[in-house]
Amino acid sequence: MNDNKQVKPANGKLGVLCVGLGAVTSTFITGVLMARKGLAQPVGSLTQLASMRVGKGDQKQYKKINEIVSLSNLNDLVLGAWDIFPDTAYESAIHAEVLKEKDINPVKEELQAIKPMPAVFDHNFVKRLNGTHIKEDKGRWALMEELRTDIRNFKQANGCDRIVVIWAASTEIYVPLNKEVHYSIEALEKAMKSNDKENIAPSMCYAYAAIAEGCPFIMGAPNLCVDTPAMWDFAEKHNVPISGKDFKTGQTMMKTVLAPALKTRMLGLNGWFSTNILGNRDGEVLDDPANFKTKEVSKLSVIETILDGEEYPNLYKNIFHKVRINYYPPRGDDKEGWDNLDIYGWMGYPMQIKVDFLCKDSILAAPLLLDLVLLSDLASRAGKGGIQYWLSFYLKSPMHKLDEKPVHDLFEQFAMLKNAIREMGGYEADQEID
């Protein structure tokens, strides 16, 4: 075991500020509160349930993750949010209809006490929603400063030692990377101060505010937001962990499992068609083509990265990959994802794989949110600033610099995650990444 005194212990309270108090966040908060009381199991959370190997040979041991590294206890989390609607966490959980009332009511009073702060909102970035609980538009820079004040006030009022900020709100319209604005922090700040509403999305105000306050920031949607050279440099300068983009929940999780299976067996792929029906607020937002474009770019990158057409042109050079999301209100949060894979094997003979995943989006996302928060706080205490590549395991479109290639294979991502935890726990990072 190596000496690893540089990782500070998880002492005191950890504030968790969620951007958005909708289905995902209210499900996450309710689950945390119920787990505290021993009334629910945090299924899906590696930090709460998983064991992993540390050491080799005679030194090999299997330990829970929270035995290897110091993580905040669920009892030490202080939960808060911003939202464009004034509903409390209780009202949001009831309205979302993800959880049954019998699983909400035991923590009703605690949920009612969580009232969101007014949010930064620009209708042009999410046209399907009409927020009523929003900050007065005094310009992007002034709004960012208000968010910084919110973070400081929340930290002081709740006696928090540290804060993590996580975006669990809607997908914004597609914002292309602009060299004139997004390549340097000076240009980004200039655009914010001049109230550039085309290139500066509301989410960027949250990301800048969090980093400026020394708070790890996680982008749980496919928004451009923190995925720019300016934000990478800003986070590195302030030694603040950032990660993103987009919680890897249902269909994409299956892609990161199935695509490596095809590659491992050297089976060919002609086409992969994916479609979803979804009826919650996320589905309504993504029904707008401008917002779907952001999600589509995120989803499409997975297959082409894992199945490398340059390395294996005979198998993967001309894959036809199509993704569709359809808003279907009767389903609510119960998303159904259909996948059709046209594959081929020995002597080119065609075969098909069909997957029908009936999942609950928020049930899959909630444990990801918990793990990302706890592990981002760990990274901060370990002095890890900038992009946290090892958290790609949880994310659909892993953030990477322009000259880098992201890792999408779930099993390679898992090895990266375990290696980082080993290192921060004082052990050797001994798992090879191919």
Q: Which amino acid is at 167?
A: W
83 and 203 share a domain? yes
Angle, to 10 degrees, between the axis of helix 89-96 and the axis of helix 23-36?
110
Residue 434 domain-assigned (yes or no): no
Bridge partners, 323 (sequence order): 274
| pLDDT score recorded for residue 4 | 52
Residue 433 lies in a domain: no
- Both 234 and 260 in one domain: the answer is no
Q: H or E segment at 53?
A: strand 51-54
pLDDT recorded at residue 288: 81
Helix locations, 158-288, DSSP H: 179-182, 185-193, 202-212, 229-237, 251-265, 281-286
Claim to verify: residue 264 and residue 387 sit in the same structural domain:
no
Helix (H), strand (E) at residue 166 = strand 160-167
Domain annotation covers residue 432 = no
Residue 1 lies in a domain: no
Name the domain count of the chain.
2
349 burial (CB, 10 Å; 0-12 / 13-18 / 19+) is exposed
Is the preceding peptide bond at 245 cis, omega within 30 degrees of 0? yes
User: Model-level pTM?
Assistant: 0.94
Strand partners, 274: 323, 339
> Is 194 within a domain?
yes
Angle between helix axes 229-237 and 202-212 (nearest 10 degrees) is 20
Q: Which domain CATH number covers 310?
A: 3.30.360.10
Same domain, 233 and 351: no
CATH code of residue 383: 3.40.50.720
d(CA 303, CA 309): 10
pLDDT at 399: 95
Which residues does 234 contact at the CB level (< 8 Å), separation at least 6? 185, 188, 208, 211
Name which of 378, 373, 403 is nearest 25 in CA terms.
Answer: 373
- Domain range holding 64? 13-247+363-424
pLDDT at 278: 86
> Does any domain span residue 169?
yes
Considering the domain architecture, whether residues 243 and 271 belong to the same structural domain is answered as no
Task: Tally Cβ neighbours within 10 Å of residue 396.
Answer: 25
Residue 152 to residue 415: CA distance in whole angstroms: 36
Domain boundary residue among 360, 379, 404? 360
Q: What is the pLDDT of residue 297?
A: 76
Residues 313 and 231 in one domain: no
> Looking at 360, 386, 414, which one is the last position of a domain?
360
pLDDT tens, position by position, for the chain (434 residues)?
444 558 999 999 999 999 999 999 999 999 999 999 999 999 999 999 999 999 999 999 999 999 999 999 999 999 999 999 999 999 999 999 999 999 999 999 999 999 999 999 999 999 999 999 999 999 999 999 999 999 999 999 999 999 999 999 999 999 999 999 999 999 999 999 999 999 999 999 999 999 999 999 999 999 999 999 999 999 999 999 999 999 999 889 999 999 999 999 999 999 999 999 988 887 788 788 878 777 777 667 789 889 999 999 999 999 999 999 899 999 888 889 999 999 999 999 999 999 999 999 999 999 999 999 999 999 999 999 999 999 999 999 999 999 999 999 999 999 999 999 999 999 999 998 87
Final residue belonging to a domain, choices 360, 375, 408: 360
On whether residue 206 sits in a domain, the answer given is: yes
Strand 241-244's sheet: what is its strand order? Answer: 117-118, 77-83, 13-19, 160-167, 217-219, 241-244, 386-387
> Cα separation of 246 and 132, whole Å?
25
Indicate if 195 and 129 belong to the same structural domain: yes
Per-residue model confidence (pLDDT) at position 42 = 98
Structural contact between residues 202 and 122, judged by C-beta atoms closer than 8 angstroms:
yes
Residue 7 lies in a domain: no
Distances (CA, A) of 76 to 30, 56, 163, 221, 327: 15, 33, 12, 26, 38
Let me know how many helices (H) and strands (E) the chain has, helices first: 16, 13
